[in-house]
Chains A and B, each alone.
Chain A
């Protein structure tokens, strides 16, 4: 395959980027496509965030003040779909596009045209999805899990939702195939698998998870489609179907999906902590094995999302034990990161702040996850705000913080300029304070009995909901600082060195800053 990459004599490769808009439309360059993914994700972040603010505004006080309950439900549904499929996943794919070729010494992704297509499907998918909000009957309102039979009660716009999910799935699967092909075939000579940076490893495993489960989701929603529009009864009890079957299929996709949203984050943090501790990653091999075991376990724990559906006792036992097991490899990772910091020589620039924020708050989310694994207790927690608190702790200061950490970390390499450190730090601290004001009280109201996905609630939950709403608006608006810092850095600033960070290690830091349009046209030597 190295012969194939040597023969890679496309015309464009000899020139810089094409001028104007066509550069972005026709580009097959991994850096351009990475940028497109990241900007798309940023845009979606504000759209999904706007929906979250509508939710929180309605929940500021008891009583219905602002929106109809049906619209409220479509906001919770859309917020989740946008944040998962439109923000976290594209951001990780964007980072993979930018960094994987540079980390393994490859000139580009293995399948550049497919790469272009994977990206350009996304804007169409999301236009389709978001347009349902303006159709008669409104957008999907049955929760992002689209449980049958409720989701089948939606209006005709439901067909658009399903097609948009199909598009997202196609895009993810193509992106994943590309990543697998790149990692297996395009590594510079000498870059053995066990020399690859952890970000590459975690993405390799994530890509396999995606290829395995996105088709399962596609199958599930296709059955919804035919149930809704073509009179089949896969999930309708009246027609001999089985509504619980939908949940099993959905979560067989859904649980690995949870790890798809966090494994690349593990990779990012594993790159950043050693840099700012000025010390190599502790337990590299065990990190790889832990990632692989988490990926394996993620396939056999799906029904822990369904402890109240009435499974047989043996099933509940199995899923409880398997779920608890996941905390072992996850714990190994956390311990390894701390051991990396131990007796290092640490500095706390913005990427490190976000990485440490990740470490602390992801661990909090992990611990509440352990509580949720205990089935008898889960029966009380299930479908309450305690669960909402849990998954927001692993997704916001988990996945989202890792993406921000990565952005600050690699931004100087992408733009050639240092970002504004002072504003970066302000962004971190303001976000972190508001984030905890927003999500921590959700643990309280959840334990005290507030169900999730409700537009109005009893007086006893009023105080903490008001607090959470204040946190939400603070957190939401403080993300404008992020936009300011990123665009300011794109425009100019202090010139970055090639190495950028004192303790940085890896091939991406050997190329000039900003990284030239084409890097590693001849493979670099690997130590």
Chain B
């Protein structure tokens, strides 16, 4: 399987990538790790006339600490995230999520920015960045702009990113000491993508849930926070009984879609099961 022909250009800076996007209008696409785009191009589901490779753009790489946040370049690979000592120390939820994506080869090529720009409904990062309240830092012809993650995911494969913008960095507030976390996924047995994945962040004060944040990916067109579950947990004892009670609300009004592997009904059932599991794992980490 060979993609349709295209013109290939290497961008050396974000500014150059933006001006190339402007110059080619809707005919061009950015290329990051290529692990979503190239498979689509091989199937000819996507046929961009121009590919703008972000590979050489140094400023899009690397992870650094800035105040109480960790700032991650869009071109950072899943493997670099999963093995970064800084990410593992300050945002272990994101490292745990990155480590569960696909397989080693996919993690060696795929990037954080590519995954968040692509917004595959079965991608893993969306649930993690939603509970972490990340900020998406983009650059376009009009300059830089920051989009809070709560406004990022618009629909299946659709984000708030404009066609002539590059997602440059993801700014993630560091997790606080004593906060529990977990990313729990059910991988599709063939592809490794999430049938569903649940991200949890849990703050507990003297045995009582002070704040719980829960998000789910894979079940519907886009990843979502689960506010009903979060509200039901606030102020409750941090124990299995209240987690089980709150997790029942995970499927309440959840927009689940049937796919070849699982029915919407089964996914709604799994949402409650995985929410409870995720909360229990997060609680274990509070206690550690």
Is chain B found bound to chain A in the same assembly? no
Q: Contact residues of B with A, CB < 8 Å?
A: none
| Chain A residues proximal to chain B, CB less than 8 Å | none
